[in-house]
Structure 1
């Protein structure tokens, strides 16, 4: 079958191990399903896989792709949930100590076919395109959990989204606006700030800029470069929700500010199947749709990888079949 896969890990030059070619057809164990992939979106996790992070060398070659959408053998249209759990686990799937993501142990979605446990597919509403649905399982699910589960954000509150041009950040802006939050966002270029404004941000600022006031919550995927600004932006008792650190994972501790203002720092990772189901319903009811910055046929996947590696994002990058 056709697939986009990592042939070998390369920490220094991740695209050196990227192959667009053929892989064997997968077998379908009992209790699992085969999804005929129609669209799948690119995530930073795919670049980490190419670097060999979170995956052992003997697990290569590995088909890339953490999420997507497609059809089952009976024609049912489905969305993929990329968190894979131990079959005996009960409760929040993200807390399972044995949980993995697609491409860590199981082959991913950048292929004609992906094989998954049956519980890892959800019905796709007819009104949601395959391209839009392919954006939900990683970036949009991460943003949904950050906003509504971890920050418990309420309509009327003010939030700050740092680095608002990538998949998670654009989802945070769109979801926050749709949920009745005042959304402020930072962007390192005029184009990125303009994008955040078009997506609904009520105010856009250069990184580190003085804000009009303090915020109830800050959403972090940037890390070291923006951390001090995030801490200074919070109201007393406010919360930073962090799901990534694209500029480095060793920010200043800011401990005096942390305890003096009784701030909260919360980690967030992907989301549960129930949260994904709620997110899909939210989009179906509201008509909200993901910001897709680049859509390519899967055969041209390398172009999408190069755009992400170069920071040339304006929303999600989606590959279609």
Structure 2
């Protein structure tokens, strides 16, 4: 079957480590695994990190990439694939597809039957394929960790990327006042079109916020601390611009701030997200839809840093 996979590692030019070609049909490690015919998938930065050799050992090459997928189950139903798999061999107790088990950038993918969630009516395969990783992370950051139901205002740092843009769209849909930063003027304009107040990084906010969505790290963390209201939650799921920020602990304890780490979510949270998007007509921000035959172009666009929102792969084209 045709697939896009890491055939080697290249820390400086990850695109050079990507190969598109034939790979063996999926196998089932356990009896409760099934094969899904993939209809749509989406690219995450995790895929670029894998091509750099981060989180993926040379002993597991070649590895089919991809975490997210919507497809057809063996019984003919349309399903969304939850990408985390129970994995006793991983220190975390589970791994994401494309780390120890082949991923979704293929005609077919094998997953545990329990990882299949029904595709809600009214939600297209293209939209749903954006949700299991980036949008689920944003949903968990806002709801489970950030307790956004107790908040009036939210700050999203570094909007433009998959998780941060999802957080903006979801927080607006949840009825919150949303402030979002971006270094790119064009992205700030698009953020404003989503209903947020778009600001340059480090800009003073008109009010302190109850929840901060932090995926940037060192470059923005001091601003996140200064923008937080008393007893605010600063939720961290990434550190694209440095992972060792200086933290003013006096501000943390004086303001009674919570700094919370998170990643991904649970099948129950993904079900909540799917239902919320379907019922409230919230649709993911899609940068582009690329046919599988041109998947290298999709990787190049993500690597360029120019994408706004998710890049979707159409496996039927």
Smaller-chain TM-score bracket: over 0.9
Q: Is the 8 A contact 1:155 1:179 kept in 2?
A: no
Deviation at 1:217, TM superposition (A): 1.1
Query: Is residue 37–residue 109 contact of structure 2 (8 Å, CA) maintained in 1?
Result: yes
Answer yes or no: is the 8 Å Cα contact 2:151–2:210 preserved in 1.
no
Choose the corresponding residue for 2:98, options 82, 86, 103: 103
TM-score (norm 1): 0.94
| Residue aligning to 1:130 | 125
Structure 1 distance, partners of 2:23, 2:242, is: 34
Q: Say whether residues 1:150 and 2:155 are aligned partners.
A: no
Residues 216-236 of structure 1 deviation map (CA, whole Å, 9 limit, x = unaligned): 111011111111111110012
Shift of 1:96: 8.2
Separation in 1 of the partners of 2:186 and 2:35? 40
Whole-angstrom CA distance in 1 between matches of 2:289 and 2:194: 18
SS of 1:139's partner is helix
Counterpart contact for 2:287–2:310, Cα < 8 Å:
yes
Is 1:206 aligned with 2:208? no
Distance 1:107 1:254 in 2: 42
Partner of 2:221: 227
Show the 5 A alignment for 1:1-321.
1-28=1-28, 29-86=30-87, 97-154=92-149, 157-201=152-196, 203-321=197-315
Stretches of structure 1 that go unaligned for 5 or more consecutive residues are 88-94
CA distance in 2, matches of 1:267, 1:141: 14
Say which is worse superposed, 162-171 or 140-149, in terms of deviation. 162-171
Taking the aligned partners of 2:135 and 2:58, their CA distance within structure 1 comes to: 29
TM-score, with structure 2 as normaliser: 0.95
Shift of 1:166: 1.1
1:210-257 C-alpha deviation (Å, 9 max, x unpaired): 111111111011111111111110012111100001112111122222
User: Structure 1 residue runs of 4+, over 2 Å off?
Assistant: none
Which has the higher mean CA deviation after the structures are superposed, 1-10 or 256-265? Answer: 256-265
In structure 1, C-alpha distance between the alignment counterparts of 2:86 and 2:7, rounded to whole Å: 25
User: Where do 5+ consecutive residues of structure 2 fail to align?
Assistant: none
SS at match of 1:185: strand
Number of residue pairs the alignment of both structures matches:
313
2:14–2:51 CA contact under 8 A, matched in 1: yes
| DSSP-derived class of the 1:154 partner | helix
CA drift of 1:155 comes to 6.5
Q: What is the CA–CA distance in structure 1 between the aligned matches of 2:215 and 2:120, rounded to whole Å?
A: 29
The 3-state SS of whatever aligns with 1:176 is helix
Q: What secondary structure is seen at the aligned counterpart in 2 of 1:70?
A: strand
* CA deviation map 1:128-169 (0-9, x unaligned): 111101001000100110000001112661000011111111
Deviation per CA, 1:93-130: give whole Å up to 9, x if none: xx983111111100000000000011111010131111
* In 1, Cα distance between equivalents of 2:92 and 2:27: 27
Question: 1:314 Cα deviation (Å)?
Answer: 0.7
Are the equivalent residues in 2 in contact too, given 1:155–1:180 (CA < 8 A)? no
- The answer for the alignment partner of 1:91 in structure 2 is none
Aligned to 2:134, what secondary structure does the other structure show?
A: helix
Tell me the distance in 1 between the aligned counterparts of 2:96 and 2:151. Answer: 34
SS in structure 1 at match of 2:36? strand
Distance 1:27 1:316, change over 3 A: same
